[in-house]
């Protein structure tokens, strides 16, 4: 296939237990695990989506719980091009926290970051759970701050893919000129060293040329 691939770093934010990891699990492997343990062991997950001949590769960073006690490192936001700010539609406190994360992103992340506000766990409404955050409240916040807005269920999968497709559509498509710039950028990136690659190569090379 002759499609160009844009790689973007996407970060997850939101109160503990709102379903950040579940949304990603649903998106990446179309799976859902009831009573999922807090995130352990994955550096980040990747998933590709193709939108009109163009492939967007999401590199998804989980907070790994570091958001709980104000301990998210600046590294987390660094070069993030997209963010999901997730709350639980049955927990008003999580919506207050979502406001906080949107503010934090505008302060810490790059200016043109694409943010999607996501009200999760709408499946609980059908199962007798009470909605505590009105759809209009979410829409209002999204409109004020220029965010994408979705209500999802990681459990049933409802709307989950739309979140990522929505972000994918907003990612600036690279025109030819920009593609060239990107190539230049890659050139300057090539000055960065790949530690892993070198590990396989010259580790036995003791030659000293000084």
Partner 1 sequence: MDPETIDTEYDVIVLGTGITECILSGLLSVDGKKVLHIDKQDHYGGEAASVTLSQLYEKFKQNPISKEERESKFGKDRDWNVDLIPKFLMANGELTNILIHTDVTRYVDFKQVSGSYVFKQGKIYKVPANEIEAISSPLMGIFEKRRMKKFLEWISSYKEDDLSSHQGLDLDKNTMDEVYYKFGLGNSTKEFIGHAMALWTNDDYLQQPARPSFERILLYCQSVARYGKSPYLYPMYGLGELPQGFARLSAIYGGTYMLDTPIDEVLYKKDTGKFEGVKTKLGTFKAPLVIADPTYFPEKCKSTGQRVIRAICILNHPVPNTSNADSLQIIIPQSQLGRKSDIYVAIVSDAHNVCSKGHYLAIISTIIETDKPHIELEPAFKLLGPIEEKFMGIAELFEPREDGSKDSVYLSRSYDASSHFESMTDDVKDIYFRVTGHPLVLKQRQEQEKQ
| Interface contacts to partner 1, rule CB under 8 A | 15-17, 38-48, 62-66, 68-71, 73-76, 78, 191-193, 195-196, 198-199, 202-203, 205-210
Is 78 or 100 the residue whose CB approaches partner 1 more closely? 78
Nearer to partner 1, 62 or 149 (CB): 62
Contact 46, 58 (CB under 8 A): yes
| Closest CB to partner 1 among residues 31, 143 | 31
- Give min distance, CB of 99 to partner 1, in A: 16
Nearer to partner 1, 126 or 200 (CB): 200
CB of 27 to partner 1, least distance (A): 12
Which two three-digit tokens encode residue 6? 């844009």
Rounded Cα distance between 96 and 15, Å, is 9
Q: Give the Cα separation of 204 and 117 in Å (integer).
A: 51
Q: What are the C-alpha distances in Å from 159 to residues 121, 143, 192?
A: 11, 19, 39
The CB-of-74 to partner 1 minimum distance in angstroms stands at 7
Which tokens is 9 given?
A: 């770093």
Shortest separation between residue 100's beta carbon and partner 1, angstroms: 13
Query: 87: which strand partners?
Result: 119
């Amino acid at each position: 296939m002759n499609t160009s691939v844009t790689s973007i770093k996407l970060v997850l934010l939101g109160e503990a237990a709102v379903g950040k990891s579940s949304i990603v699990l649903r998106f990446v492997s179309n799976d859902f695990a009831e009573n999922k343990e807090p995130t352990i062991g994955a550096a980040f997950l990747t998933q590709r989506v193709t939108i009109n001949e163009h492939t967007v590769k999401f590199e998804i960073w989980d907070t790994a719980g570091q958001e709980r006690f104000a301990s998210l490192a600046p590294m987390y936001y660094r070069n993030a091009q997209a963010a999901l700010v997730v709350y639980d539609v049955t927990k008003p406190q999580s919506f207050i926290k979502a406001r906080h994360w949107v503010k934090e992103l505008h302060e810490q992340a790059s200016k043109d970051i694409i943010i999607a506000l996501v009200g999760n766990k709408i499946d609980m409404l059908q199962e007798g759970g009470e909605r505590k955050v009105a759809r209009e409240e979410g829409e209002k916040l999204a409109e004020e701050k220029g965010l994408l807005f979705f209500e999802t269920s990681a459990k049933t999968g409802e709307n989950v893919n739309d979140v990522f497709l929505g972000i994918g559509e907003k990612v600036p498509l690279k025109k030819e000129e920009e593609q060239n710039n990107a190539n230049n950028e890659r050139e300057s990136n090539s000055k960065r060293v790949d530690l892993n690659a070198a590990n396989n190569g010259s580790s036995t090379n003791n030659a000293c040329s000084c």
